[in-house]
């Protein structure tokens, strides 16, 4: 047997905090990856979907004759050909007990509710033959009026689902006065109208598309006793549960595998019609099947994100001390309530107050059904919306009071000595230091010098103006304490599972219920285990993403993998050590009390006697000489349910140059100092921050899912949906301050979503700051040159995006996202 | 069907293909070269980038029949004798990838970029990679990886 690794503690560099290069990379940089679409099975058939071109229509007939006669077509199936066998796509979070939730069939047989919905599936021997035949399926529709505009839909002018009688799905309310966590916001506003400042604004969170790089793909193999599904998903465990719950197949007969998954950002946190159809077809035909979407299909039918109107009322005293914040949201669910669905804006409900000491707070969110693509989680999920609203309006307050936006923030934020701090939304922030992060960010940014340059440019009337944008964000992540989820009526818990298997050769297998899709769990989790167990980084193998290996888990989203999954791992490792202790004592002929464990080794205090954990694993494998009543195993598992969320925070500073003659904007500098607690791997953290920043910046400047007035997605390809390129972006300066979380052993906080949550308002604040002296106080996202130019040269916030890059059906069409926000108003001190 | 013969990652191959078959489909479906991936259907994302006679092309934008007689190198043929290409090594060293889906195309494009311009500035790197989309890294560390591969100092 292989010798075990003995690593005297004093000679070993700690793994935690080390910038280890990733274990994942070797296969990814050499093309030896297993993406779902790479899987080919003997006799495998290929699927192509027939999708509705209409946003809302009755299906009057489907003629599949020509398609069935096409070369190598095996079957053409419609919703009517399936019964309950198809199952349904579930909503796991009815945010209120009376939520209106349309049934979501993966393939409806009577009526389509958004353009892109599947009405038939073609099965053929090759993917190309399936697509050819899909063109031959003749579907007759009777078009129905479509509910497209969010505000009009909320008024029930046109119904997205006529049988439901309303588009209003659920109204979710939090009121600090009623909850006992703060005062009455109406009183605060009334008082401020008399002798303070009231700022009222309406902001638009445009519709976004997650746009992960790997298109979704699913392979179903019904061969053998177990039915296997490979899927490009973030949530193999939840998919398995939902398949069992909705298709009648016992959970024990279902194996779901998420092999290498090419990004998700919330976009693969879903149970999809495509998965359910592939499942039903594979089982019906008894043959392996594969479906891989095109990019256009992905943009059209994979769930979208954001899409809110935010009506905000902030009350303050004349000196800028905040006294109340009232938030009224309209959130577009799209055609169906997705798996998290209305829960996404609810995840923001506790965050609009952010880092500030609001005495009173009211939040109300009306979720609304429309005939657009369904919406769900997209990186940040609820918290970017909240952060945008509060960070934008704090700038408005600063402008009103006439002080620097940093001054107004500092006046109102929680001081570092006030932690732990219970907020007006009822959360307990465990740790943080906003002063320290801000001081460091200012230093990196050269804040005072840039302010001086801004002043100089204004005074000289430069056509290119400089704006500085601030975002002092926090977020709640690490989803989630199961009890809290229960109180919120969520359909599952928020725990995570891990197990540690001590192999006879001294190697260590770690199984996690988290399901990575680019995050680097194999590396970071190896570092945690290497340190805690005292074994070599290289000797740890992290397994995940296959329900047959990782039988229990709740997957990866909500910046939870490290803070929840990592803590489960810590506890499993600790159990291994405790299980090994009596065996070590027995083998060393010492008392358990005389043993100490460090550097992967039990040693007898005061002697040079000792045994490495790997040697104990070997002894357990042979089981020749174990104490009585001790099982021959030191493997262990742990399931951890967090006691609290955790609260990363940071200060992001952005400098934007705005050409006042053309409206063109250019990012000059972006720095951030995030406090994410203790860092396991700084290289991975930096990557998460960079990528997060660009996704948030992209919301501010480029991305928008645009529909025309017929409900057709006109940004349905990468030609029209503007993902930033290397040439559009700049390099960032990233640093950290550290306030360890007090609610997990490692003192870590989530980082996966932080950059995205923080950056959007920093950018828009900078753009607005550049032209505020020209009478502008808002520019609607994305801040295109056209909008910026219009804001400078006329009233309003730059207008909505024209619904079509080119008129598709008739000129002057396109009303999907057309309307302007309500008139903003400011009352009080300076005005 | 049209008969094509070409060299892919050093191996001679010959097949009958439909005239409409794309090079990327040929690589993936006929040769099992699944290291080269498909990320879009409009030639925007560059995930399928390979070298055709030594120059980078988006293999979704080339018909298989156009590659007749050509020499094709994919990500799977870049490492020689078990030794990674300097650009592959740099992507790992600089954490220039996360999910890794864009990575084969990004690496192949970077190799071509450095062949044309061995010491590119940051701006030249960014412009040279404009045809390759990445959703994970924000490009920051991809730029550093190319700087590193070129032997230039890497910005922090």
Please enumerate, as own/partner, the contacts of A189-192 that have beta carbons within 8 Å and a separation of 24 or more.
A189/A313, A189/A315, A189/A324, A189/A326, A191/A315, A191/A323, A192/A315, A192/A316, A192/A317, A192/A323, A192/A324, A192/A827, A192/A828
Mean pLDDT of A3-8: 47
Query: Does the CB of A30 have a partner CB in chain B at under 8 Å?
Result: yes
Nearest CA to CA, how far is A38 from chain B (Å)?
6
Q: Using CB atoms and an 8 Å cut-off, which of residues 184-243 of chain A contact chain B?
A: 211-215
- Is there a contact between A345 and A308 (Cβ–Cβ < 8 Å)? yes
Residue A805: left (phi > 0), alpha (psi -120 to 50), or beta? Answer: alpha
- Is there a contact between A567 and A745 (Cβ–Cβ < 8 Å)? yes
Cβ separation of B133 and A725 shorter than 8 Å? Answer: yes
pLDDT band at A86 (very low <50, low <70, confident <90, very high): very high
B94 and B58 share a domain? no
Comparing CB atoms, the residue among A519, A686, A718 nearest residue B133 is: A718
Mean pLDDT of A528-553: 97
B66 and B92 share a domain? no
B90 and B136 share a domain? yes
* B27 assigned to some structural domain: yes
For residue A415 the two structure tokens come to 């001081």
Burial B93-125 (b: 16+ CB within 10 A, else e): bbbbbbbbbbbbbbbbbbbbbbeeeeebebeeb
Cβ separation of B100 and A31 shorter than 8 Å? Answer: no
* B156 assigned to some structural domain: no
Cβ separation of B134 and A213 shorter than 8 Å? Answer: yes
* B98 assigned to some structural domain: yes
Nearest CA to CA, how far is A295 from chain B (Å)?
5
Q: Give A688-722 pLDDT, tens digit per residue.
A: 999 999 999 999 999 999 999 999 999 999 999 99
Cα(A20)–Cα(B16) distance, integer angstroms: 47
In chain B, the residue whose alpha carbon lies closest to the alpha carbon of A38 is B34
Instruction: Name every chain B residue with its beta carbon within 8 A of the beta carbon of A723.
Output: 133, 135
In chain A, the residue whose alpha carbon lies closest to the alpha carbon of B137 is A691
For residue A775 the two structure tokens come to 């009478």
Structural domain boundaries, residue B106: 86-149
pLDDT band at A11 (very low <50, low <70, confident <90, very high): low
Q: What is the pLDDT of residue A823?
A: 61
CA angle A245, A246, A252 (to 5 degrees): 45
First CA to last CA distance, chain B: 53
Cα(A682)–Cα(A294) distance, integer angstroms: 35
Burial A748-773 (b: 16+ CB within 10 A, else e): bbbbbbbbbbbbbbbbbbbbbbbbbe
B46 and B16 share a domain? yes
Other Cβ atoms less than 10 A from the Cβ of A500: the count is 26
**Which run of H or E residues covers position A793?**
helix A785-793
| Count of the separate structural domains present in chain B | 2
| Longest Cα separation, chain B | 53
DSSP code, position B9:
T
B6 and B72 share a domain? yes
Nearest CA to CA, how far is B52 from chain A (Å)?
17
Q: What is the pLDDT of residue A831?
A: 39
B11 and B30 share a domain? yes
Cα(B44)–Cα(B40) distance, integer angstroms: 7
Three-state DSSP class for A62? Answer: strand
Would you report the helix, strand and coil content of chain B in percent, each value rounded to 5?
35, 20, 45
When mean pLDDT is compared across A220-229, A803-812, A818-827, B106-115, the lowest value belongs to A803-812
Q: What is the pLDDT of residue A726?
A: 98
Cα(A447)–Cα(A465) distance, integer angstroms: 16
Nearest CA to CA, how far is B85 from chain A (Å)?
10
Cα(A546)–Cα(A560) distance, integer angstroms: 18
Q: Give B82-91 pLDDT, tens digit per residue.
A: 999 999 999 9
Query: Does the CB of A690 have a partner CB in chain B at under 8 Å?
Result: yes
Mean pLDDT of A116-142: 98
Three-state DSSP class for A768? Answer: helix
Q: List domains and CATH numbers for chain A.
A: 9-33+495-640 (3.30.365.10), 40-476+644-790+801-831 (3.30.365.10)
**Look-up of token digits 């505020």:** A772
Sequence-distant (6+) residues with CB within 8 A of A604 are: A588, A590, A594, A595, A610
* B38 assigned to some structural domain: yes
Mean pLDDT of A224-252: 96
* B155 assigned to some structural domain: no
When the pLDDT of each residue in chain B is averaged and rounded to a whole number, the result is 97
Q: In Å, what is the CA distance from A408 to each residue of A91, A319, A355, A510?
A: 41, 9, 12, 48
CA-CA-CA-CA torsion sign (A822, A828, A830, A831): positive
Decide which of B77, B110, B133 is a domain's last residue. Answer: B77
B71 and B6 share a domain? yes
Mean pLDDT of A345-360: 97
Cβ separation of A21 and B91 shorter than 8 Å? Answer: no
Decide which of B16, B50, B77 is a domain's last residue. Answer: B77
* Secondary structure of A386-440 in HEC code, one letter for each residue: HHHHHHHHHHHHHHHHCCCHHHHHHHHECCHHHCCEECCCCCEECCCCHHHHHHH
Query: Does the CB of A72 have a partner CB in chain B at under 8 Å?
Result: no
pLDDT band at B156 (very low <50, low <70, confident <90, very high): low
Q: Give A175-210 pLDDT, tens digit per residue.
A: 999 999 999 999 999 999 999 999 999 999 999 999
Instruction: Name every chain B residue with its beta carbon within 8 A of the beta carbon of A718.
Output: 40, 42, 44-45, 133
* B31 assigned to some structural domain: yes
Cα(A456)–Cα(A812) distance, integer angstroms: 43
Query: Does the CB of A831 have a partner CB in chain B at under 8 Å?
Result: no
Cβ separation of A731 and B142 shorter than 8 Å? Answer: no
B93 and B37 share a domain? no
Mean pLDDT of A803-820: 44
Name the β-bridge partners of A360: A183
Q: What is the pLDDT of residue A179?
A: 97
Three-state DSSP class for A179? Answer: helix
Other Cβ atoms less than 10 A from the Cβ of A736: the count is 20
Nearest CA to CA, how far is B88 from chain A (Å)?
6
Peptide bond into A373 cis (omega under 30): no
Q: Give B8-49 pLDDT, tens digit per residue.
A: 999 999 999 999 999 999 999 999 999 999 999 999 999 999
Cβ separation of B104 and A31 shorter than 8 Å? Answer: yes
Query: Does the CB of A686 have a partner CB in chain B at under 8 Å?
Result: yes
B60 and B8 share a domain? yes
Three-state DSSP class for A296? Answer: helix
Mean pLDDT of A759-788: 97
Comparing CB atoms, the residue among B93, B132, B138 nearest residue A691 is: B138
* B94 assigned to some structural domain: yes
CA angle B88, B139, A269 (to 5 degrees): 100
Nearest CA to CA, how far is A342 from chain B (Å)?
25
**Look-up of token digits 């489960």:** A568
Cβ separation of B39 and A295 shorter than 8 Å? Answer: yes
pLDDT at A172 exceeding the cut of 50:
yes
pLDDT at A488 exceeding the cut of 60:
yes
Cβ separation of B40 and A718 shorter than 8 Å? Answer: yes
Cβ separation of A690 and B141 shorter than 8 Å? Answer: yes
pLDDT at A640 exceeding the cut of 80:
yes
Cα(A481)–Cα(A644) distance, integer angstroms: 6
Cβ separation of A717 and B42 shorter than 8 Å? Answer: yes
In chain A, the residue whose alpha carbon lies closest to the alpha carbon of B106 is A29
Q: Indicate the Cα dihedral angle B62, A121, A295, B77, nearest 10°.
A: -50
Any idea what the CATH number is for the domain that residue B127 is in? Answer: 1.10.150.120
Other Cβ atoms less than 10 A from the Cβ of A631: the count is 10
Cβ separation of A25 and B100 shorter than 8 Å? Answer: yes
CA-CA-CA-CA torsion sign (A716, A720, A722, A725): positive
Sequence-distant (6+) residues with CB within 8 A of A761 are: A387, A388, A391, A392, A469, A471, A473, A700
Name the β-bridge partners of A326: A313, A362
Nearest CA to CA, how far is A717 from chain B (Å)?
7
Any idea what the CATH number is for the domain that residue B51 is in? Answer: 3.10.20.30
In chain B, the residue whose alpha carbon lies closest to the alpha carbon of A296 is B41
pLDDT band at A817 (very low <50, low <70, confident <90, very high): very low
ipTM over 0.95: yes
Nearest CA to CA, how far is B1 from chain A (Å)?
15
Q: What are the backbone dihedrals phi and psi of residue A367, each rounded to the nearest 5 degrees, phi first?
A: -90, 145
Other Cβ atoms less than 10 A from the Cβ of B155: the count is 11
Q: What is the pLDDT of residue A816?
A: 40
B29 and B65 share a domain? yes
Q: Using CB atoms and an 8 Å cut-off, which of residues 278-297 of chain A contact chain B?
A: 294-296
Q: Indicate the Cα dihedral angle B15, B16, B19, B20, nearest 10°.
A: -70
pTM of the entire predicted model: 0.95
B60 and B111 share a domain? no
Sequence-distant (6+) residues with CB within 8 A of A257 are: A228, A229, A230, A231, A236, A545, A546, A547, A548
Q: What is the pLDDT of residue A303?
A: 98
Query: Does the CB of A18 have a partner CB in chain B at under 8 Å?
Result: no
pLDDT at A249 exceeding the cut of 60:
yes
- Is there a contact between A285 and A75 (Cβ–Cβ < 8 Å)? yes
Among A28, A29, A32, the strongest candidate for a mutation testing the B interface, having the largest count of B CBs within 10 A, is A29
Q: Give the pairing type, strands A217-221 and A227-231.
A: antiparallel
Sequence-distant (6+) residues with CB within 8 A of A677 are: A431, A646, A648, A738, A739, A740, A741, A747, A748, A749
**Which run of H or E residues covers position A444?**
helix A434-445
- Is there a contact between A678 and A740 (Cβ–Cβ < 8 Å)? yes
In chain A, the residue whose alpha carbon lies closest to the alpha carbon of B21 is A128
Q: What is the pLDDT of residue A13?
A: 82
Q: What is the pLDDT of residue A224?
A: 86
B59 and B97 share a domain? no
For residue A587 the two structure tokens come to 């083998």
Q: What is the pLDDT of residue A289?
A: 98
Instruction: Name every chain A residue with its beta carbon within 8 A of the beta carbon of B92.
Output: 21-22, 25-26, 29
pLDDT at A818 exceeding the cut of 80:
no
Sequence-distant (6+) residues with CB within 8 A of A120 are: A49, A50, A62, A64, A76, A77, A78, A79, A107, A134, A137, A139
Nearest CA to CA, how far is A209 from chain B (Å)?
12
Cα(A517)–Cα(B46) distance, integer angstroms: 20
Mean pLDDT of B122-150: 98
Rounded to 10°, the helix B103-116/B140-149 angle is 40
Mean pLDDT of A80-97: 95
DSSP B30-87: IT--TTS----SSS-S-TTEEEETTEEEETTSSBGGGGTT-EEE-GGGTSBTTB--HH
When the pLDDT of each residue in chain A is averaged and rounded to a whole number, the result is 95
Cα(A586)–Cα(A592) distance, integer angstroms: 8
* B154 assigned to some structural domain: no
Among B100, B132, B154, the strongest candidate for a mutation testing the A interface, having the largest count of A CBs within 10 A, is B100
Q: What is the pLDDT of residue A579?
A: 98
Cα(A538)–Cα(A512) distance, integer angstroms: 17
Three-state DSSP class for A753? Answer: coil
Q: What is the pLDDT of residue A809?
A: 42
For residue A651 the two structure tokens come to 């200060």
Q: Give the pairing type, strands A601-604 and A361-369.
A: unpaired
Three-state DSSP class for A33? Answer: coil
- Is there a contact between A300 and A116 (Cβ–Cβ < 8 Å)? yes
Q: What is the pLDDT of residue A800?
A: 63
Query: Does the CB of A560 have a partner CB in chain B at under 8 Å?
Result: no
Decide which of B56, B77, B98 is a domain's last residue. Answer: B77
Mean pLDDT of A624-634: 96
Q: Give A427-466 pLDDT, tens digit per residue.
A: 999 999 999 999 999 999 999 999 999 999 999 999 999 9
Nearest CA to CA, how far is A726 from chain B (Å)?
5
Instruction: Name every chain B residue with its beta carbon within 8 A of the beta carbon of A686.
Output: 95, 140-141
**Alpha carbon of residue A698 to chain centroid:** 15
CA-CA-CA-CA torsion sign (B126, B128, B133, B136): negative
Query: Does the CB of A683 have a partner CB in chain B at under 8 Å?
Result: yes
């Amino acid at each position: 047997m292989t010798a075990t690794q003995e690593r005297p503690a004093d000679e070993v560099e700690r793994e935690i905090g080390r910038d280890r290069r990733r274990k994942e990379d070797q296969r990814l940089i050499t093309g030896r990856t297993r993406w779902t679409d790479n899987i080919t099975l003997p006799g495998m058939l290929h699927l192509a979907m027939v999708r509705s071109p209409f946003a809302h229509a009755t299906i009057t007939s489907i003629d599949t004759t020509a398609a069935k006669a096409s070369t190598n077509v095996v079957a053409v199936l419609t919703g009517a050909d399936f019964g309950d066998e198809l199952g349904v796509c579930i909503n796991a979070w009815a945010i209120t007990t009376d939520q209106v939730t349309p049934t979501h069939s993966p393939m409806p047989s009577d009526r389509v509710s958004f353009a892109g919905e599947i009405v038939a599936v073609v099965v053929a021997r090759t993917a190309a033959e399936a697509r050819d035949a899909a063109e031959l399926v003749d579907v007759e529709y009777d078009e129905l009026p479509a509910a497209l505009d969010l505000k009009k839909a909320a008024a029930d002018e046109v119904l997205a689902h006529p049988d439901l009688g309303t588009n209003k799905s659920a109204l979710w309310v939090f009121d600090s006065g009623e909850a006992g966590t703060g005062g009455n916001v109406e009183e605060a506003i009334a008082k401020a109208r008399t002798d303070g400042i009231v700022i009222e604004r309406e902001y638009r969170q445009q519709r976004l598309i997650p746009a992960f790089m790997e298109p979704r793909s699913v392979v179903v193999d019904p061969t053998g006793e177990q039915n296997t599904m490979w899927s490009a998903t973030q949530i193999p465990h939840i998919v398995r549960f939902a398949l069992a719950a909705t298709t009648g197949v016992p959970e024990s007969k279902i194996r779901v595998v998420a092999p290498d998954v090419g990004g998700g950002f919330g976009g693969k946190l879903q149970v999809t019609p495509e998965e359910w159809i592939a499942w039903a077809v594979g089982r019906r035909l008894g043959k392996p099947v594969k479906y891989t979407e095109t990019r256009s299909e992905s943009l059209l039918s994979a769930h979208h994100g954001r899409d809110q109107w935010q009506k905000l009322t902030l009350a303050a005293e004349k000196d800028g001390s905040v006294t109340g914040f009232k938030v009224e949201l309209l959130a577009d669910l799209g055609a169906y309530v997705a798996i998290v669905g209305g829960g996404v804006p609810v995840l923001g409900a506790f965050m609009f107050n952010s880092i500030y000491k609001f005495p009173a707070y009211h939040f109300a969110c009306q979720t609304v059904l429309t005939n657009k693509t369904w919406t769900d989680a997209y990186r940040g999920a609820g918290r970017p919306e909240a952060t945008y609203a509060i960070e934008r309006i704090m700038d408005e307050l600063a402008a009103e009071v006439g002080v620097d936006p940093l001054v107004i923030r500092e006046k109102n934020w929680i001081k570092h000595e006030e932690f732990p701090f219970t907020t007006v939304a009822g959360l307990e922030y465990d740790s943080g230091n906003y002063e320290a992060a801000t001081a460091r960010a200012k230093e990196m940014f050269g804040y005072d010098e840039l302010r001086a340059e801004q002043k100089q440019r204004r005074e000289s009337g430069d056509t290119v103006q400089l704006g500085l944008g601030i975002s002092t964000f926090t977020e709640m992540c690490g989803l989630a304490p199961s009890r809290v989820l229960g109180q919120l009526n969520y359909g599952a818990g928020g725990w995570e599972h891990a197990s540690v298997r001590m192999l006879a050769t001294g190697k260590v297998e770690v199984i996690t219920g988290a399901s990575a899709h680019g995050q680097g769990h194999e590396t970071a989790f190896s570092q945690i285990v290497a340190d805690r167990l005292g074994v070599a980084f290289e000797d740890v193998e992290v397994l995940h993403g296959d329900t047959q290996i990782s039988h229990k888990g709740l997957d990866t989203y909500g910046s939870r993998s490290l803070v929840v999954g990592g803590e489960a791992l810590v506890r499993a490792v600790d159990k291994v050590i405790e299980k090994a202790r009596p065996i070590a004592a027995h083998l060393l002929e010492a008392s358990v009390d005389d043993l100490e464990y460090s550097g992967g080794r039990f040693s007898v205090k005061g002697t040079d006697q000792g045994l490495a954990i790997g040697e104990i694993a070997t002894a357990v494998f042979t089981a020749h000489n174990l104490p009585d009543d001790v099982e021959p195993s030191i493997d262990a598992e742990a399931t951890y349910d967090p006691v609290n969320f955790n609260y990363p925070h940071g200060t992001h500073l952005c400098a934007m140059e705005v050409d006042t003659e053309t409206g063109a904007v250019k990012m000059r500098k972006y720095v951030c100092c995030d406090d994410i607690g203790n860092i396991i791997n700084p290289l991975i953290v930096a990557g998460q921050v960079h990528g997060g920043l660009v996704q948030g910046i992209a919301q501010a400047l480029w991305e928008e899912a645009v529909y025309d007035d017929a409900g057709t997605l006109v940004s349905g390809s990468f030609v029209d949906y503007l993902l930033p390129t290397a040439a559009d972006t700049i390099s960032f300066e990233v640093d950290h301050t550290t306030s360890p979380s007090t609610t997990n052993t490692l003192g870590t906080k989530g980082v996966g979503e932080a950059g995205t949550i923080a950056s959007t308002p920093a950018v828009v604040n900078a753009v607005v700051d550049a032209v505020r002296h020209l009478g502008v106080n808002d520019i609607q996202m994305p801040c295109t040159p056209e909008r910026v130019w219009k804001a400078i040269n006329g009233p309003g916030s730059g207008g909505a995006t024209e619904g079509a890059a080119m008129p598709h059906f008739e000129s002057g069409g396109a009303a999907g996202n057309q309307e302007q926000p309500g008139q903003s108003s400011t009352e009080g001190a300076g005005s | 069907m049209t008969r094509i013969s070409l060299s892919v990652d050093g191996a001679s191959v010959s097949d009958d293909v439909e005239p409409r078959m794309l090079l990327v489909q040929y690589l993936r479906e006929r040769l099992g070269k699944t290291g080269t991936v498909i990320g879009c259907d409009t030639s925007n994302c560059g995930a399928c980038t390979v070298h055709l006679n030594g120059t980078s092309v988006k293999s979704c934008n080339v018909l298989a029949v156009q590659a007749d007689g050509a020499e094709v190198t994919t990500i799977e043929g870049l490492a020689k004798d078990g030794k990674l290409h300097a650009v592959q090594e740099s992507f790992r060293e600089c954490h220039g990838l996360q999910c890794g889906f864009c990575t084969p195309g990004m690496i192949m494009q970077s190799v071509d970029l450095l062949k044309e311009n061995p010491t590119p500035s940051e701006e030249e790197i960014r412009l040279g990679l404009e045809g390759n989309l990445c959703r994970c890294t924000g490009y920051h560390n991809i730029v550093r990886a190319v700087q590193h591969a070129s032997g230039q100092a890497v910005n922090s």
